[in-house]
Amino acid sequence: MKDPNNTRNTAPRRGSPLWIYFVVVILLGVAAGAAAFSGLTGDDLDALAGTPVFWILGCFIIFGELRPIITPGSTENNGATTSTTFSFAALLYAGLPIAAALQAAAVITCGIFRGRTPHRIAFNVSQYTLSLAAAQLVLALFGDLATPTDLWVPGGADLPAIALAGAVYFICNDTLVGSAVALHERVSLVKALRWDLGYQVLVHLALLGLAPLMVIAMDRSAAFVPLIVLPFIAVYMNASVSVRREHQALHDGLTGLPNRKLLIVRTEEALAEARGAEKRSADRTAAEKAAAAKRDSAEQRDSKEKRDGAERADAEARAAGMLGPRAAALGPRRRKAADPPRHRAGLFLLDLDRFKEVNDTLGHPTGDRLLQLVAHRLTHSVRPGDLVARLGGDEFAVLLPSVRDEAAAREVAARLRAALSEPVRLDGMSFDLEGSVGIALFPDHAPDFELLLQRADVAMYNAKEARSGVEIYSPRKDRNSPARLSMLGDLRRAIDRSELELFYQPKVSLRDGQLVGMEALLRWRHPDKGILEPVAFLSVAEQTYLMRSITHHVVGAALAQAAAWWREDLTVQVAVNASGRDLFDTGLTETIEEGLLARGLPAAALQLEITERILMNEPAYASDTVGALAELGIPLSLDDFGTGYSSLVRLNRLPVEEIKIDSSFVGRLTESTEDAVIVRSIVDLARTLGLRSVAEGVEDPATARMLREMGCDAAQGWHFGRPMDADTATDWLRRHMQRAPEPAA
């Protein structure tokens, strides 16, 4: 049962219903205890002091109060106390005074040890005394009354009486605590009792059921009592293992912070609390507005009567010539009830900036220590009651169960960033940390956890792009439109249904018309929209996990088609486009290597095309994947050359075999002198570096002729061949390779 004071250890307000209830229960408990102890005789006290089993019972009861059985989902406040077994056994064996005294001693000891307030200790003592007294009355009805000098050992026929006494003990104890919880939480008694009724019934059934066995063991010999404790030891150990496993399942192993699973639970609880507070505020406001309307109505009636009386007095005065007209309209003063305050919860998403560079430079062990330091700083920078969780990698979430408004949320976020920005010194190096924070508020931005997290994620990426550090979710900046989300769902299904297909476009030598290779171009045969080109869907997939699946699918399909062509002696190199993200996928090299071996293809049968912008990204350029591809012998082609800012040093070191001149320059080659100069410079650069130059987007003979005159090695475009499906491309290859090559026009 939930503890009535688990949220605070202070006395209830004097005169409140909870205070009155505490006073009544304590007085009843004192009366029951006094009545029980009044019946003790000197012989009873001598028997109590001289019997070791009672001292052993007392120790077990105290230990049971101090160390409750904490199972997953429970705490020290509502965990099962094994003292129930021993105090109920004392009640059966020696009567109410002994059981109540031992239980009271345990509760007082536990209360002092844990720093509980006197009112709480007094309530708990009275609660147990009344419950034991109720069970004693049931036993008395069956004639089963025990005293320290007249011990009672139940037999098989006494089990119904014991079962009924146990049931009364449980009902009385649960009702007393449930009533306090109901008054404290301001809910109905039925609702308070139903919170963990099933758990409490099961636990008390087990604990009370062991009491008769304890009595039989005590009657035989005090030496048997410790043996009864062995099952409890096993229960304690199993509960401890379960709690430890639950902690591992709900917490991050590296930092010890809550993980996504626990964050979901805590967020749902916070949202439910905010909804309840919102409803209670709305109900109070509605009641205030109704009362205000009633007051206004009464004031209007009074005002009308005053105006009527004043008008009559004015008329009489004017008739007597004593007064001029006077304004007597006294409008009622309206007191407008204020709108209910908003009860908000906030969810932050925090991502460390440039953390991968730390990992790549100093190694993963140092990166792990850095994450532990970040976790420590974050947890010590939030408010009491806020929750910091690690979602994975360098991504953290912060839950604010209650936040006033956006300004207050920004203050917390600013405090988090300030804590992170303090210089860090690890492995003899000092460096600064920065983080980007995205904020989403309930109910302003989302009604549930998943949408809150998604919108906090959007805000966080907006903060990264704007380099502002902190951003609150704004629908204007949200590119996750319903159409985009629908596209992602369709694309995920398209991969499973093999709707993604490769078309092939030839690359032809400008000197002799020989085929240089075939570029594989992705197309999506959409069941409703027809054939879609990459521009219609790849931008949606590039920021999601789908991009990896798409790349592996394309590589597999390209290798399968290349193998089919090589079996026909159509030995052609197939080029596949790869994104910058693909160069961080360590599984890509393994996929390519296994695909080549399975199909008996050399590494030169496949070429990977990467964009020039990859040279601007040092980690991508120096990634393990690039090195592994070079060792495997996979040639690289630098696509869209001329649209970025290339480093010639990196270009010379990167294992590329060709440079592809972007179609934006080639398309204006015959019209723009400036573009012609750019294309010529790129061709000369490629020749100097010993690379092949390939022009993209060649649409007419004039452009092809100018490129050949400039010394460009190869070209592709509609002038040489449009993108073709696999069957059409195969027919084209057969025809092209059968006829003698001739210079391209």
What pLDDT digit, counting tens, does each position of 246-276 carry? 677 788 888 888 988 889 989 998 888 888 7
Let me know if residue 603 belongs to a domain: yes
Peptide bond into 443 cis (omega under 30): yes
Distance CA 401, CA 378 (A): 16
Residue 311 lies in a domain: no
Q: Give a yes or no: residue 295 inside a domain.
A: no
State the Cα torsion 527-532-538-539 to the nearest 10°: -110
Q: Are residues 34 and 139 in the same domain?
A: yes
Q: Report the SS3 class of residue 658.
A: strand
Picking from 477, 504, 521, the residue at the C-terminal end of a domain is 477
CA angle at residue 45 from 43 to 48, to 5 degrees? 110
Give the pair of three-digit tokens for residue 730: 């195969």
The answer to whether residue 62 sits within a structural domain is yes
Q: Single out the residue of 612, 637, 709, 613 nearest to residue 669, CA to CA.
A: 709
DSSP state of 700: S
Looking at the structure, tell me whether residues 418 and 403 fall in a common domain. yes
The answer to whether position 114 is within a domain reads yes
Residues 403 and 492 in one domain: no
Q: Are 123 and 26 in contact (CB under 8 A)?
A: yes
Q: Which of 580, 685, 690, 593 minimizes the C-alpha distance to 642?
A: 685
* Same domain as 685, residue 630: yes
Closest CA to 639 of 683, 687, 693: 693
Angstrom distances, CA of residue 175 to CA of 137, 171, 179, 200, 745: 17, 6, 6, 12, 96
Q: How far apart are CA 647 and CA 582, in angstroms?
A: 21
* Statement to judge: residues 399 and 490 lie in one domain: no
Phi/psi at 6 (5° precision): -75, -15
Q: What's the CATH code of the domain at 374?
A: 3.30.70.270
Q: In this predicted structure, what is the pLDDT of residue 359?
A: 66
Average pLDDT of the chain is 79
Let me know if residue 273 belongs to a domain: no
Q: Which of 477, 497, 532 is the last residue of a domain?
A: 477
Residues 405, 535, single domain; the answer is no
How much is the pLDDT for 440? Answer: 92
Looking at the fold, whether 633 and 714 belong to one and the same domain comes out as yes
Per-residue pLDDT tens over the stretch 468-526: 888 998 877 766 656 666 777 788 888 888 899 999 999 999 988 889 999 999 999 98
Do 379 and 489 sit in the same domain of this protein?
no
Residue 286 lies in a domain: no
Structure tokens at 395: 């991504």
Could you say which of 196, 229, 250 is where a domain stops? Answer: 250
Maximum mean pLDDT: which of 122-131, 178-187, 426-435, 586-595: 122-131
This prediction has a pTM of 0.46
Q: 466 vs 420, 455, 459, 492, 581, CA distance in Å?
A: 19, 16, 10, 30, 21
Domain co-membership, 489 together with 471: no
pLDDT at 335 over 50: no
Which domain range does residue 234 map to? Answer: 17-250
The structural domain count of the chain equals 3
Q: Are residues 550 and 462 in the same domain?
A: no
CA distance 682 to 466: 33
| CATH value at residue 586 | 3.20.20.450
Same-domain status, 533 and 608: yes
- Percent with pLDDT over 90 in the chain: 19
For 513-571, how does the pLDDT look when each residue is reduced to its tens digit (9 = 90+)?
889 999 999 999 988 888 988 888 886 776 666 788 888 889 999 999 999 999 999 99
Q: Are 537 and 486 in contact (CB under 8 A)?
A: no
Two structure tokens written together for 417: 């960033």
Pair (513, 371) in one structural domain: no
Query: Is 615 contained in some domain?
Result: yes
Tell whether the model's pLDDT for residue 620 goes beyond 60: no
Section 658-665 average pLDDT: 87
Is 350's pLDDT higher than 50?
Answer: yes
Backbone angles phi, psi at 343, to 5 degrees: -105, 110
